[in-house]
Amino acid sequence: MVKLGSVLGVLLLAATIIYVEWKNSEENKVRWITGGITAISAVIGILLLFDPSLPGPGAVVKLLFGGVDKALK
C-alpha cells in the first residue's frame, strides 16, 4: 500500500511539472523536451521504488558520458 501511494505521488508530481512547463513555455520543441525528460525521470523513479538495487540516474549519466569526461581531461 505504501508503494502505491509513492507511485501516485511520483506520477502526480511529474504531471504537475509537465502541466506547468507546458502552460508557461512558448516553444513547442521545449514543451516536448521538458515533458519527455520529466516522463523518463518519473519512470526511473518508479522503477527504483520497486527495485532499489538498480543503478540510479547518476550511474546512467556516468555510463553515457563517462568516456566524454575522460576524453576531455
Dist. CA 52–CA 66, nearest whole Å: 23
Predicted pLDDT at 73: 66
What's the pLDDT tens digit per position in 56-72? 777 777 877 777 766 76
Does residue 7 carry a pLDDT above 80? yes
**Domain range for 27:** 3-72
45: which 3 cell numbers? 523513479
Number of domains in the chain: 1
The mean-pLDDT minimum among 36-45, 46-55, 60-69 falls in 60-69
CB 38 within 8 Å of CB 17: yes
CB 7 within 8 Å of CB 49: yes
What's the pLDDT tens digit per position in 15-30? 999 999 989 988 989 8
pTM for the model stands at: 0.70
What phi-psi label fits residue 32: left (phi over 0), alpha (psi between -120 and 50 degrees) or beta? alpha
